[in-house]
Structure 1
Amino acid sequence: MNFTIPETVLDLQNIRNELVRMEDSIIFKFIERSHFPTCPAVYDPNHELLTIPNFEGSFLDWALMHAEITQSQLRRFESPDETPFFPDHILDPILPSIHYPQVLAPYASEVNYNNKIKHTYIEKIIPLISKYQGDQEENFGSVTGCDIELLQSLSRRIHFGKFVAEAKYQSDIPLYTKLIKDKDINGIMENITNSAVEEKILERLILKAEVYGVDPANKEGERRITPEYLVKIYKEIVIPITKEVEVDYLLRRLEDE
């Protein structure tokens, strides 16, 4: 998606196409993470093996923060579709800045659900996709690397809801203006929900999990990511949090006006 061309960014079909492309990336990252156990030590801020001096947080937090510091210098977070987990620690880019046209409302960066995404990922997704419960010290670094990539991919996918919300707002400004003024959260949720599209997403995920989730050379072998788990993650976590992002964004949409 070309964020320098606003009219293409707010085209709902273009947005849906981008979300479809994200699915493949997320599924393959789930498969990569499924080779490892849960490794709860990585997420424990008080674990004796992974305590970082002068840092309050888990080993994952420390690694993710430092990854984002480097990525910010490569101007990752100048892109309007990227939302940092540690916005107070990112640095100015070393590369020349890209001045993207204003597509979203000025407060868009403040709609940040990354704390909820990280908590839900650790508490609900990791137990579903991991090889088994327990630690594996020799793979703490590999697990953390997988987690960082997955968290950032999930964050990008979920925060894309801001573009969906803006596109829907622009498509019917009078309707959404009334809903926002009335603070009608249920009404907003009803109007942003497209059950047919959501059902297609889940159907597509089942097919992709059937194809990607098994070694083609050993179709009788252990499945690396099951359709049931993949649908559960999207239906109960990814789609609902995305809609929370949309509602949160829309409730503030009249601030500047």
Structure 2
Amino acid sequence: MNFLEPSTVLDLQNIRDELVKMEDTIIFDFIERSHFARCSGVYQANNAEVDIPNFDGSFLDWSLMQIEIVHSQLRRFESPDQTPFFPNHILKPILPSINYPKVLASYDAEINYNTKIKNLYIDHIVPMIAKRSGEQKEQMGSVTMIDIETLQNLSRRIHFGKFVAEAKYQSNKELYKKLILEKDVNGIMENITNSQVEEKILERLRVKAQVYGVDPTNKEGERKITPEYLVRIYRDFVIPMTKEVEVEYLLRRLEDEK
């Protein structure tokens, strides 16, 4: 998707194509994470096993913050599809800024679900996809790195709901203006929901998990990720949270119209 060309960014088919690409990335992240134990110590604040001076938080939080500081200097968070987990710590880019055309509403950066996404990942997704419970202290660094990559990709996928919301708003302004003025959350949710598209997503994920989740040379071998878990993650968590983002974005959309 070319963020320098706004007309392509708000094309719903282009958005759906981008979401399909994200599925593959996220599935392979889950498969990579499945090689390790749950390693709950990575997520424990002030873990005695890890001495982090002047930091009150988990090893994952500290590592993610450090990576975002570096990535911010590479202008990662200038891109409209990137949302930082630690927005108060990012730095100005060293590379020259890119003047992306403004596609989303002026408040889009204020819609940040990353804390929810991180809690969802730790509390629900990791227990489903981790190889086993328990610790692998020698693998804390590896676990943390794949966790960070997975969280960043989940964040991008869920926050893409802002582009979906803007595209739908532009396609039927009168309808959405009415719903927004009436603060009709249920009406907005009903109009942004496309059950047929969602079912296609879940069916596609089921097939991908069946193909990607097992060694093709040993189909009787251990499955790295089960179709049921992948479908559940999207059905119960990823899709609903994406729609939360869409609703919150749309409820404020008339702020820019003023």
TM value normalised by structure 2: 0.99
- Counterpart check, 1:167 vs 2:205: no
Structure 1 Cα separation of the partners of residues 153 and 255 of structure 2: 29
Code of the residue aligned with 2:82 in structure 1: it is: E
Structure 1 Cα separation of the partners of residues 249 and 134 of structure 2: 39
Structure 2 Cα separation of the partners of residues 46 and 88 of structure 1: 21
Structure 1 Cα separation of the partners of residues 87 and 47 of structure 2: 25
Residue 245 of structure 1 deviates from its aligned partner by: 0.2
Structure 1 unaligned segments of length 5 or more: list them: none
String of CA shifts for 1:221-256, please: whole Å, max 9, x gaps.
110000000000000000000000000000000012
- Report 1:1-257 matches (<5 A): 1-256=1-256, 257=258
Structure 1 Cα separation of the partners of residues 56 and 165 of structure 2: 35
Aligned length: 257
String of CA shifts for 1:76-101, please: whole Å, max 9, x gaps.
00000000000000000011100000
Structure 2 Cα separation of the partners of residues 236 and 46 of structure 1: 31
Residue 51 of structure 1 deviates from its aligned partner by: 3.8
Structure 2 Cα separation of the partners of residues 134 and 181 of structure 1: 51
| Contact 1:45–1:51, Cα closer than 8 Å, also in 2 | no
String of CA shifts for 1:40-81, please: whole Å, max 9, x gaps.
000000311024111011000000000000000000000000
Structure 1 Cα separation of the partners of residues 46 and 74 of structure 2: 32
Structure 1 Cα separation of the partners of residues 9 and 51 of structure 2: 43
CA-based RMSD = 0.5
Residue 33 of structure 1 deviates from its aligned partner by: 0.2
Structure 1 Cα separation of the partners of residues 51 and 147 of structure 2: 18
Structure 2 Cα separation of the partners of residues 215 and 146 of structure 1: 20
Give the secondary-structure state (helix, strand or coil) at the position aligned to 1:97: coil
Structure 1 Cα separation of the partners of residues 184 and 53 of structure 2: 47
Residue 206 of structure 1 deviates from its aligned partner by: 0.6
Give the secondary-structure state (helix, strand or coil) at the position aligned to 1:223: coil
Give the secondary-structure state (helix, strand or coil) at the position aligned to 2:48: coil
Give the secondary-structure state (helix, strand or coil) at the position aligned to 2:255: coil
Structure 2 Cα separation of the partners of residues 85 and 116 of structure 1: 10
Give the secondary-structure state (helix, strand or coil) at the position aligned to 1:126: helix
| Contact 1:51–1:59, Cα closer than 8 Å, also in 2 | no
Residue 218 of structure 1 deviates from its aligned partner by: 1.3
Structure 2 Cα separation of the partners of residues 94 and 207 of structure 1: 43
Code of the residue aligned with 1:54 in structure 2: it is: N
| Contact 1:42–1:50, Cα closer than 8 Å, also in 2 | no
Seq. identity, %: 72
Structure 1 Cα separation of the partners of residues 127 and 229 of structure 2: 10
Structure 2 unaligned segments of length 5 or more: list them: none
Structure 2 Cα separation of the partners of residues 100 and 187 of structure 1: 32
| Contact 1:42–1:60, Cα closer than 8 Å, also in 2 | yes
Structure 2 Cα separation of the partners of residues 243 and 51 of structure 1: 39
TM value normalised by structure 1: 0.99
